[in-house]
Structure 1
Amino acid sequence: MPVSRRSTFKAATALAALGASAATANAAEGKAGGEAIGAGVDSLGFDLGMPTPDRADKLYDALDFQQAVLCYLWAIPTVGMESARQMLVDNAGARSGDLVLVTGYREVSVMLGSNVTTPYVFAHIDLADRPVVFEYPEGATAGSLVDWWDRPLIDVGASAPDAGKGAVFILVGPGQEAPKDLPRGARVLRSRTRKVLLFSRGLDSDPRKVEEIFETARIYPYGQSPGQGRTRVLRFKPEGRLTSMKHPEGFAYWRRLVNALEQEPVEDRDRFFAAMLKQLGIESGRTFEPDARQRKILQKAAVVGEETAKAIAFNTRIPGMRYRADAQWEYLIPPSFSNEQDVPGGTLFEERTKFFYEVTGTSEAVLTRTPGAGSAYLVAYHDTNGAAFDGGRSYRLRVPADVPAKLFWSITLYDTDTRGLIQNRQQIVDKSSHQKLRKNPDGTIDIVMSPTAPAGLEKNWIPTTPGRSWYAYFRLFGPLEPYFDRSWGLPDIQATTS
């Protein structure tokens, strides 16, 4: 169901009304004498201080709704992982252990926060029955193996411990014993979840060369000879509508969550959420068949939950997110973020909500602070006046001449609702220093984002669509010290008249 401001307002108004009546009751108790207290509370659904059955039902409805919204936000990382698996199943017919090559505008458009610079490779791996062997290939790749809460097990590829030379991993699921007779050089990776996702990308822009690298990979149950079966490298179906990686809307969100949690252990940090979900009809080993009351609450909570996630992502209150005070650019990844999602004193709740509402998959490389290594991400959700970017208007970004990126920089536009690539007839969504862009005499480059091509700057143009809003990621590949110490600045994206 599409997120409706009207339905959100109704749900919020119902909660506000309930809170107001409770506040009125408290005020009445504070002002009145003993005899009058009972009368004041009685009129609000209490009998001598005891809630009437009708009042109790309303209070439980409010409690379950509030808890459902919290559960929606809590579940965003794992629903994102399950949505990635569903994308691979629907679009490529992928089974556990199959590799899927994703490349080009059409295919990458259904991914969260991705770009079309180089191809991606995914695989979902089920560890339910026994450990799995993953012979990761040698070659120019970079990525990570992550568990079903999007916590990295290990980075893979050029920026990882294997340094692009390949590696053999033994993936061990929760409650399983690690094999003692390991293949030579193999490394045991213990996952806290039954399911694991590989997300990687080839560092060569040629899909065929990337496919050739991954054709040497092998994923198979421990104890089975790798020669018994070749690991498939699949592609998305060439025609028809593709399933998106975005989080489902409305009631479908909860069905996706049920699938994500199936046979997964409940960690200590998540026990209260498991208790909340039980009251909503979601419990391990139990068929998800919510009654009419639960369904109504879940439907409304999905609407409010999604809008709250948007607020956390696009209007964040997380401290330290602004890159510099002189522009609207923010860090995509909160500076306080930890891939474990836990820090002394608690769990990063809003931080992981923001990050994983926009993207799926993380790695140690994206958190590096080593100059010249990994990548860095700045994001702009608003123009210089703090307004949302309108696909029907024209905007301009003047990229400085001295971007501190060892490899290259790029800017990519994303649709606000899908968090995937913007859609346009030209299939142009980004510009980068790899491209032959028109430069100004001082070396700066003007990137234009508008529904019509700017005269003389056609090479620097990213087409936008009227009626759709967008936001921008500015990526620095191999960021250098001026980025980290913030002595380098990136100007705001500004609205123009042409």
Structure 2
Amino acid sequence: MPHISDAPSPGTSPETLASIVCPDRLETVFGTLDFFDGLPLPEAVTRSYDTLDLLRGIEAFLNCVPGASMVALRRGLRSIGVDSRTIGFTAPRCTSAPVLLTGNTETAYGMTFLALDEDGPTVVEAPGNSLCVVDDLWQRYVTDMGIAGPDQGKGGAYLFLPPGYEGDVPDGYFVVRPRTYASWVVLRALGGTESLLTSRIYPLSAAADPPEQRFVNWAESDFNTVHANDFSFFEEIDTIVQAEPPESLDPERAGQLAALGIVRGKPFRPDDRMRSILDTAARIASGIARTLAFKPRDPGFSYYPDRSWKTPFPTRSYEFLSEEGARLLDSRSVFHYFATVSSPAMVAAPVGTGSQYAYTAEDSTGAWLDGGRTYTLTLPRGVPAKNFWAVTVYDPQTRSLLRTGTPYPSVNSLSDDVRPEAGGDTVIHFGPTPPEGKEANWIQTVPGKGFFVVLRLYGPLDSWFDKSWRPGEIEPA
């Protein structure tokens, strides 16, 4: 018979015991938790669940900003008459009147939301020479159309099929299958409004005789498209959960929302306690999002180690993934809190196509930009933009175009009035009043308000990517 002996008893060291037991009292930032030999006393139970709900509410806010932003944008467009068969557009350009996350004043915008559950398979005819993008209702990339899309800028007809569609698919279309019934269609025509107005959206059932396209010009309309920063944020999210297929949302975020009472097919009716906690969570999370955006601690957000210009794509992944495949949650929260449109063309398009962005809210000393002061920004000669460049200022509160004495708070290379210096550099001026003789190179700011600046390059060139060309810092006068 084999010899079998008992294993020696190692005993439990004090260090090991201390690491696994629960003390009778825990002092936390959320208050004191009292236990009887590891068993929570009544006040500890209440405080534990209040804390858990608060933490989950904060995380749910930060993780679900992309969806809430889409709900708010769709609601805003509907308020001015833009439905799934209508294209809202800007003519001649978008102004600071709409509250719209980091809209630009240079390209002709068109946008709408598809409703594949109501309209069925839907055709979108994209204009040529355009930069068009479609994202689903969680603001995940669906497809590019135009220069960065399969039509390569020639224009084309795209057929969008509802989730789970198993019917016939006719030839002659670029076929797209979004994960949600609602998808955001963004049309950016480089040829201007005339080109944009050639766009068409109609149900496939009407393809033989498409109806006349409806358009609504919202360039100067004052309406809100930005999501809430209080309890109603969670009501915005519930709108998506109730209307879209359950499988359209990843299990992790679906689990976070379910823990807060947001479940498809069930009414979202939090009691007074939960409503108060979620209101607090949204307000805390919105503050965290602003900190992440304007003072990120991840060095990957900085374009250059010695300058304040930042990118919301630290790893150049439109899906906010690290090289190891981990989701960069802060990066996703930052981008979607102050911007919209997720597309590979924004980060990884071939040289000379797509667009690139850099932003800052700081001057060269590290101080926040102050609308009561004057500043200059020097763009060295040879700005690396095949199509055009633009410098635009925004309101840090609304993350929308700064409302000043002019509807267009920007300077861009499309203007014949913008003048370079004798050496070829272009100097942009910021301040409440224009510098004499430099009005065309000036962007007005508002005393008593901060602002942040976005540099856009359309058709970025090699010297942007290899960093041999760099924008100057914003210098206080």
Q: Give the TM bin, normalised by the shorter chain.
A: 0.7 to 0.9
Structure 2 residue 366 is matched with structure 1 residue 386:
yes
Q: In structure 1, what is the Cα distance between the partners aligned to 2:272 and 2:323? A: 39
Residue equivalent to 2:422 = 441
Q: In structure 2, what is the Cα distance between the partners aligned to 1:169 and 1:144? A: 12
Structure 2 residue 410 is matched with structure 1 residue 430:
yes
Residue equivalent to 1:333 = 313
Q: In structure 1, what is the Cα distance between the partners aligned to 2:305 and 2:198? A: 44
Which letter maps to 1:99? I
Residue equivalent to 2:34 = 45
Which letter maps to 1:223? S
Contact 2:24 2:37 in 1 (8 A): yes
Residue equivalent to 1:191 = 178
Q: 1:361 to 1:398 in 2, by over 3 A?
A: same
Residue equivalent to 1:230 = 212
SS at structure 2 position matched to 1:95 = coil
SS at structure 1 position matched to 2:85 = coil
Structure 2 residue 320 is matched with structure 1 residue 320:
no
Structure 2 residue 56 is matched with structure 1 residue 63:
no
Which letter maps to 1:111? L
- How far apart are 1:257 and its partner, in Å? 1.2
Contact 2:136 2:182 in 1 (8 A): yes
Greater CA drift, 466-475 or 440-449 = 440-449
Residue equivalent to 2:138 = 149
- How far apart are 1:450 and its partner, in Å? 0.5
Q: 1:472 to 1:39 in 2, by over 3 A?
A: closer
Contact 2:159 2:175 in 1 (8 A): yes
SS at structure 2 position matched to 1:75 = helix
Residue 473 of structure 1, aligned match among 454, 464, 475: 454
Q: In structure 1, what is the Cα distance between the partners aligned to 2:26 and 2:421? A: 73
Residue 401 of structure 2, aligned match among 421, 430, 448: 421
**TM norm structure 1:** 0.84
Structure 2 residue 207 is matched with structure 1 residue 200:
no
Q: In structure 2, what is the Cα distance between the partners aligned to 1:40 and 1:320? A: 37
SS at structure 2 position matched to 1:412 = strand
Q: 1:441 to 1:231 in 2, by over 3 A?
A: closer
**Per-residue CA distance 1:441-474 (angstroms, 9 max, x = gap):** 2122221100112223222111100121111111
**Per-residue CA distance 1:364-387 (angstroms, 9 max, x = gap):** 322235222222111112111111
Structure 2 residue 389 is matched with structure 1 residue 400:
no
Q: 1:447 to 1:263 in 2, by over 3 A?
A: same
Residue equivalent to 2:67 = 78
Residue equivalent to 1:23 = none
Residue 280 of structure 2, aligned match among 290, 300, 304: 300
Which letter maps to 2:154? K
Residue equivalent to 1:161 = 150
Q: In structure 2, what is the Cα distance between the partners aligned to 1:353 and 1:328? A: 20
Structure 2 residue 444 is matched with structure 1 residue 463:
yes
SS at structure 1 position matched to 2:197 = helix
Residue 311 of structure 1, aligned match among 291, 301, 307: 291
Residue equivalent to 1:356 = 336
Residue 120 of structure 1, aligned match among 99, 109, 118: 109
Which letter maps to 1:445? T
Contact 2:64 2:237 in 1 (8 A): yes
Residue equivalent to 1:412 = 392
Q: In structure 2, what is the Cα distance between the partners aligned to 1:190 and 1:369? A: 22
Residue equivalent to 1:264 = 244
Which letter maps to 1:193? T
Identity of aligned residues (%): 29
- How far apart are 1:281 and its partner, in Å? 2.5
Q: 1:40 to 1:58 in 2, by over 3 A?
A: closer
SS at structure 2 position matched to 1:408 = strand
Q: RMSD of the alignment, in Å? A: 2.8
- How far apart are 1:40 and its partner, in Å? 9.1
SS at structure 2 position matched to 1:196 = strand
Residue 248 of structure 1, aligned match among 228, 237, 244: 228
**TM norm structure 2:** 0.88
Q: 1:297 to 1:389 in 2, by over 3 A?
A: same
Structure 2 residue 86 is matched with structure 1 residue 98:
yes
Q: In structure 1, what is the Cα distance between the partners aligned to 2:188 and 2:127? A: 13
- How far apart are 1:363 and its partner, in Å? 2.4
- How far apart are 1:204 and its partner, in Å? 2.7
Q: In structure 2, what is the Cα distance between the partners aligned to 1:455 and 1:38? A: 71
- How far apart are 1:130 and its partner, in Å? 6.6
Residue equivalent to 1:218 = 201
Which letter maps to 2:102? G
- How far apart are 1:180 and its partner, in Å? 2.4
Unpaired runs of 5+ in structure 2?
Answer: 1-14
Q: 1:350 to 1:332 in 2, by over 3 A?
A: closer
Q: In structure 2, what is the Cα distance between the partners aligned to 1:268 and 1:364? A: 20
Greater CA drift, 186-195 or 390-399 = 186-195
**Per-residue CA distance 1:348-406 (angstroms, 9 max, x = gap):** 32221111111111323222352222221111121111111111111111221221222
Greater CA drift, 456-465 or 58-67 = 456-465
Q: 1:263 to 1:269 in 2, by over 3 A?
A: closer
Structure 2 residue 347 is matched with structure 1 residue 367:
yes
Unpaired runs of 5+ in structure 1?
Answer: 1-26
Contact 2:394 2:401 in 1 (8 A): yes
Q: In structure 1, what is the Cα distance between the partners aligned to 2:349 and 2:226? A: 29
Contact 1:378 1:474 in 2 (8 A): yes
Q: In structure 2, what is the Cα distance between the partners aligned to 1:166 and 1:440? A: 39
Q: In structure 1, what is the Cα distance between the partners aligned to 2:391 and 2:343? A: 21
Contact 1:218 1:226 in 2 (8 A): no
Contact 1:337 1:348 in 2 (8 A): no
Q: In structure 2, what is the Cα distance between the partners aligned to 1:116 and 1:294? A: 41
- How far apart are 1:57 and its partner, in Å? 0.8
Which letter maps to 1:200? L
Contact 1:135 1:166 in 2 (8 A): no
Q: In structure 1, what is the Cα distance between the partners aligned to 2:218 and 2:408? A: 21
- How far apart are 1:93 and its partner, in Å? 1.5
Q: In structure 2, what is the Cα distance between the partners aligned to 1:142 and 1:40? A: 56
Q: In structure 2, what is the Cα distance between the partners aligned to 1:116 and 1:447? A: 16
- How far apart are 1:121 and its partner, in Å? 0.6
**Per-residue CA distance 1:94-142 (angstroms, 9 max, x = gap):** 2223211134344664221121112211110112257422141443322
Which letter maps to 1:219? Y
Residue equivalent to 2:266 = 286
